Amino acid sequence: MPEFAVELRNVSKRFPGPSGEEVVAVNHVTMQIRDGEFFSMLGPSGCGKTTSLRMIAGFEMPTNGEVFIHDRPMGQTPPYRRPVNTVFQNYALFPHMAIGENVAFGLEMKGVPRAEIGPRVKQALEMVRLPGYEKRRPKQLSGGQQQRVALARALVNRPEVLLLDEPLGALDLKLRKEMQLELKTLQREVGITFIYVTHDQEEALTMSDRIAVMSQGVVRQVGAAAEIYEEPNSRFVADFIGETNFIDGTVRAVNGGEVEFEVGGLTIIAHAPAGVTHGQKATLAVRPERIRLTPARPADTVNAFAGEVRESIYLGTDTRYFVQLAPTVSVRVRQQNVVPVGMPALEGPTGVQVWASWTSDSAQVLVE
């Protein structure tokens, strides 16, 4: 078995725009999706994720480059000859067919013998927890149920790769969260490579083995959820995934993987990528939940700064603070409410003096 289920080699897609100009939807993208993994393409709308998916499905053909599925170049192969199936955003169930007919459609097109179709349809519907729904019509089903039928209709064909185009977008939040876990479980059970397109970072983090963060037709970073969250390689990725404090300053000293970063009279020890040089302008990224607030200076931390609480917002599970560390430097802090009412020292409105601290590996220098 080849290592990669799907490979995009230097793939570009250009469309004629509405007023004659060319729109580059996907710009020289190279991506390798491993066999059997749950891979997400994540990015804001217009980042090229859906176009990339549609090129794998065969609905769009690349302007340049080549798409490979299990090492076979796809060229101009039409969708109906590709070993992939798609779950569409609005399900795209055939309204004039019963659920059973919908699920059987792909098998019929492939010429699977009649005697085999019935049992396979039954099995597929059981897999998505809709046993006995064969005779119902799509309109009689709820959104979540229709979504499951769409899954069954695709998976019954045993595709080499399953493509999912924001399949949970139309569902309400609670159902979406349920379906996320269900999808992940299903993927492990069937062992098929899933390529999932979404603009919802939480969704991508929840389900994916690996995530490709895209923007403006380019892949910004590919990696496991933790990798992308902990070590974003650019300001865009750090900003798009979760919440981050960005502090613009200057690199003062470089010691291997760590640097001294200076801003507004503060010196911060932080992690930095290779190639950062002395005197370089850069951005420091610190996650709000990595900053600890204490009434007194903590003994064990390299980065500890006195500050003043400007605002605090109670959010139930945690509380958010805006802390001023220097005249030009302020940070957002998120602290979990593990004790009933926040930190006693921080009660009261604003103006409380605190110490904000974080470890050197919680701060990341970004040059891009």
Partner 1 sequence: MTETARRGSRWQLGGLLAPGAGWLLLFFNLPLVIVLFISFVERGRAGSIKWPPVFTLENYIDFFDALYLGIFANSVRIAFIVTAICLLFGYPLAYFISQRHPRWRDALLLLVMIPFWTNFLVRTYALKQVLGAEGLINSLLIGAGLIPGPLDLLFNEFAVIVGLVYGYLPFAVLPMYASIEKFDFALMEAASDLGANQARAFLRVMLPMTLPGVIAAFVLTFVPVVGAFITPDIMGGGKVEMIATLINRQFGVARNWPFGSAISLVLMLLVLIGVIAQFRFGGEERRTL
Q: Residue numbers of the site for partner 1 (CB under 8 A)?
A: 57-59, 78-80, 84-86, 88, 90, 92-96, 105-106, 109-110, 137, 153-154, 157
For partner 1, give the closer residue by CB, 86 or 233: 86
For partner 1, give the closer residue by CB, 138 or 223: 138
For partner 1, give the closer residue by CB, 109 or 253: 109
Paired tokens of 292? 């600890």
> Alpha-carbon torsion 345, 346, 350, 355, what sign?
positive
Q: What letter represents residue 325's amino acid?
A: L
3-class DSSP state of 224: coil
For partner 1, give the closer residue by CB, 78 or 132: 78
Q: Is 7 exposed, middle or buried (0-12, 13-18, 19+ CB in 10 A)?
A: buried
Scored b (16 or more CB within 10 A) or e, 25-51 reads bbbebebbbebebbbbbbbeeebbbbb
Name the minimum Å distance from CB 108 to partner 1. 8
Taking a C-beta distance cutoff of 8 angstroms, is the pair 228, 219 a contact?
Answer: no
Name the minimum Å distance from CB 210 to partner 1. 24
**Distance of alpha carbon 305 from alpha carbon 175, whole angstroms:** 43
For partner 1, give the closer residue by CB, 48 or 106: 106
Name the minimum Å distance from CB 84 to partner 1. 8
φ, ψ for residue 231, nearest 5 deg: -125, 65
> Alpha-carbon torsion 166, 170, 172, 176, what sign?
negative
Write the DSSP symbol of residue 273: -
Name the minimum Å distance from CB 96 to partner 1. 5
**Distance of alpha carbon 241 from alpha carbon 225, whole angstroms:** 10
For partner 1, give the closer residue by CB, 90 or 206: 90
Name the minimum Å distance from CB 283 to partner 1. 42
For partner 1, give the closer residue by CB, 109 or 306: 109
Name the minimum Å distance from CB 301 to partner 1. 54
> Which residues sit opposite 211 in a β-bridge?
40, 223
CA angle 85, 148, 167 (to 5 degrees): 65
Paired tokens of 125? 């519907």
**Distance of alpha carbon 102 from alpha carbon 121, whole angstroms:** 9
- C-beta atoms surrounding 94 within 10 Å: 12
For partner 1, give the closer residue by CB, 163 or 331: 163
Name the minimum Å distance from CB 188 to partner 1. 24
For partner 1, give the closer residue by CB, 83 or 242: 83
Name the minimum Å distance from CB 41 to partner 1. 18
Name the minimum Å distance from CB 115 to partner 1. 19
Helix axes 114-127, 99-110, angle to 10 degrees: 130
- The H-or-E segment that residue 104 falls in is helix 99-110
**Distance of alpha carbon 68 from alpha carbon 75, whole angstroms:** 8
